[in-house]
Amino acid sequence: RNFQGKVMATSGAGKPVYYSGLKTIDMYGLNDIFIGHKKVDTFSWPGHNKSDMDYVISRKPDIIATFIRPNLDIFNGYKHTGYDSAGYTIRFLLNTSKWHMPQDIIDVQSLEPDSLSRLIEQEYDFAVLERASEP
Protein backbone atom coordinates (compact mmCIF):
# COMPACT_ATOMS: atom_id res chain seq x y z
CA ARG A 1 0.00 0.00 0.00
CA ASN A 2 2.86 2.40 0.75
CA PHE A 3 4.43 2.05 -2.68
CA GLN A 4 1.58 1.93 -5.21
CA GLY A 5 2.73 3.08 -8.65
CA LYS A 6 6.41 2.59 -7.77
CA VAL A 7 9.03 0.29 -9.31
CA MET A 8 10.41 -2.58 -7.23
CA ALA A 9 13.58 -4.61 -7.80
CA THR A 10 13.47 -8.02 -6.14
CA SER A 11 15.25 -11.32 -5.94
CA GLY A 12 11.96 -13.05 -5.16
CA ALA A 13 9.96 -12.58 -8.33
CA GLY A 14 7.07 -14.79 -7.21
CA LYS A 15 4.97 -13.68 -4.25
CA PRO A 16 6.32 -10.11 -3.92
CA VAL A 17 5.44 -9.36 -7.54
CA TYR A 18 2.05 -11.06 -7.46
CA TYR A 19 0.84 -9.54 -4.22
CA SER A 20 2.30 -6.06 -4.68
CA GLY A 21 1.16 -5.54 -8.26
CA LEU A 22 4.20 -3.30 -8.77
CA LYS A 23 6.22 -2.95 -11.94
CA THR A 24 9.22 -5.13 -11.13
CA ILE A 25 12.87 -5.59 -12.05
CA ASP A 26 13.84 -9.23 -11.49
CA MET A 27 17.36 -9.14 -10.06
CA TYR A 28 18.02 -12.65 -11.44
CA GLY A 29 17.17 -11.46 -14.94
CA LEU A 30 14.41 -13.95 -15.70
CA ASN A 31 12.41 -11.11 -17.27
CA ASP A 32 15.26 -8.69 -17.98
CA ILE A 33 17.08 -8.88 -21.31
CA PHE A 34 20.32 -7.30 -20.04
CA ILE A 35 20.79 -9.63 -17.06
CA GLY A 36 19.23 -12.58 -18.87
CA HIS A 37 21.86 -12.45 -21.62
CA LYS A 38 24.85 -12.20 -19.29
CA LYS A 39 27.41 -14.98 -19.55
CA VAL A 40 28.19 -17.04 -16.45
CA ASP A 41 31.20 -19.17 -15.57
CA THR A 42 29.21 -21.85 -13.79
CA PHE A 43 25.62 -22.97 -14.02
CA SER A 44 24.82 -24.52 -10.68
CA TRP A 45 21.36 -23.17 -9.84
CA PRO A 46 19.12 -22.62 -12.91
CA GLY A 47 17.40 -19.27 -12.85
CA HIS A 48 19.65 -17.98 -10.06
CA ASN A 49 23.11 -17.71 -11.62
CA LYS A 50 22.88 -14.33 -13.29
CA SER A 51 22.69 -10.94 -11.63
CA ASP A 52 24.10 -7.44 -11.93
CA MET A 53 23.31 -5.21 -8.96
CA ASP A 54 25.14 -2.22 -10.39
CA TYR A 55 22.84 -2.42 -13.42
CA VAL A 56 19.76 -2.82 -11.19
CA ILE A 57 20.78 0.19 -9.08
CA SER A 58 21.38 2.22 -12.28
CA ARG A 59 17.72 1.68 -13.20
CA LYS A 60 16.78 3.51 -9.96
CA PRO A 61 13.96 1.33 -8.67
CA ASP A 62 11.97 3.04 -5.94
CA ILE A 63 12.37 0.04 -3.65
CA ILE A 64 14.56 -3.04 -3.48
CA ALA A 65 13.09 -6.12 -1.77
CA THR A 66 15.60 -8.88 -1.04
CA PHE A 67 17.32 -10.93 1.60
CA ILE A 68 19.79 -9.14 3.87
CA ARG A 69 22.67 -10.36 6.00
CA PRO A 70 23.59 -9.22 9.52
CA ASN A 71 26.51 -7.22 8.06
CA LEU A 72 23.79 -5.34 6.05
CA ASP A 73 24.97 -6.65 2.67
CA ILE A 74 22.11 -7.73 0.41
CA PHE A 75 21.45 -9.86 -2.67
CA ASN A 76 24.42 -11.93 -3.84
CA GLY A 77 26.77 -10.17 -1.41
CA TYR A 78 26.12 -6.65 -2.70
CA LYS A 79 27.77 -4.37 -0.14
CA HIS A 80 25.76 -1.95 1.96
CA THR A 81 28.17 0.81 0.93
CA GLY A 82 26.98 0.31 -2.66
CA TYR A 83 23.30 0.82 -1.95
CA ASP A 84 24.01 3.54 0.66
CA SER A 85 25.95 5.59 -1.87
CA ALA A 86 23.11 5.16 -4.40
CA GLY A 87 20.68 6.74 -1.91
CA TYR A 88 18.95 3.61 -0.56
CA THR A 89 18.15 3.06 3.10
CA ILE A 90 16.64 0.08 4.87
CA ARG A 91 12.99 0.94 5.50
CA PHE A 92 11.42 -2.38 6.55
CA LEU A 93 12.60 -5.77 7.79
CA LEU A 94 10.37 -8.83 7.39
CA ASN A 95 10.31 -11.98 9.49
CA THR A 96 10.91 -14.94 7.16
CA SER A 97 10.84 -17.69 9.76
CA LYS A 98 7.99 -20.18 9.90
CA TRP A 99 6.98 -18.67 13.25
CA HIS A 100 4.95 -15.49 13.57
CA MET A 101 6.44 -12.68 15.62
CA PRO A 102 4.43 -9.95 17.38
CA GLN A 103 5.27 -7.90 14.28
CA ASP A 104 6.27 -9.70 11.08
CA ILE A 105 7.04 -6.42 9.31
CA ILE A 106 9.00 -3.76 11.19
CA ASP A 107 9.59 -0.17 10.10
CA VAL A 108 13.30 0.24 10.88
CA GLN A 109 14.10 3.58 9.29
CA SER A 110 15.20 5.11 12.61
CA LEU A 111 17.28 2.16 13.90
CA GLU A 112 21.06 2.09 14.18
CA PRO A 113 23.08 -0.58 12.28
CA ASP A 114 23.70 -2.65 15.45
CA SER A 115 19.96 -2.87 16.13
CA LEU A 116 19.30 -3.84 12.50
CA SER A 117 21.92 -6.60 12.69
CA ARG A 118 20.34 -8.04 15.84
CA LEU A 119 16.91 -8.16 14.17
CA ILE A 120 18.37 -9.81 11.07
CA GLU A 121 19.97 -12.47 13.25
CA GLN A 122 16.47 -13.10 14.72
CA GLU A 123 15.20 -14.04 11.21
CA TYR A 124 14.02 -10.60 10.13
CA ASP A 125 16.23 -11.27 7.12
CA PHE A 126 14.23 -9.89 4.21
CA ALA A 127 14.60 -6.15 3.69
CA VAL A 128 12.79 -3.44 1.80
CA LEU A 129 15.20 -0.67 0.84
CA GLU A 130 13.76 2.68 -0.18
CA ARG A 131 15.43 5.16 -2.51
CA ALA A 132 15.56 8.75 -1.33
CA SER A 133 13.58 11.18 -3.43
CA GLU A 134 15.66 13.03 -5.95
CA PRO A 135 16.00 16.79 -5.38
Q: What is the pLDDT of residues 1-56, one digit of tens each?
A: 778 899 999 987 777 788 888 999 988 877 788 887 788 777 666 666 778 899 99
pLDDT greater at residue 52 or residue 70:
70
Q: What pLDDT does 16 receive?
A: 77
Return the closest-CA partner of residue 22 out of 32, 33, 34, 10.
10
pTM: 0.88
Residues in the chain: 135
The enclosing H or E element of 8 equals: strand 7-10
CA distance 28 to 30: 6
Q: Distances from the Cα of 29 to the Cαs of 35, 51, 52, 81, 132, in angstroms?
A: 5, 6, 9, 23, 24
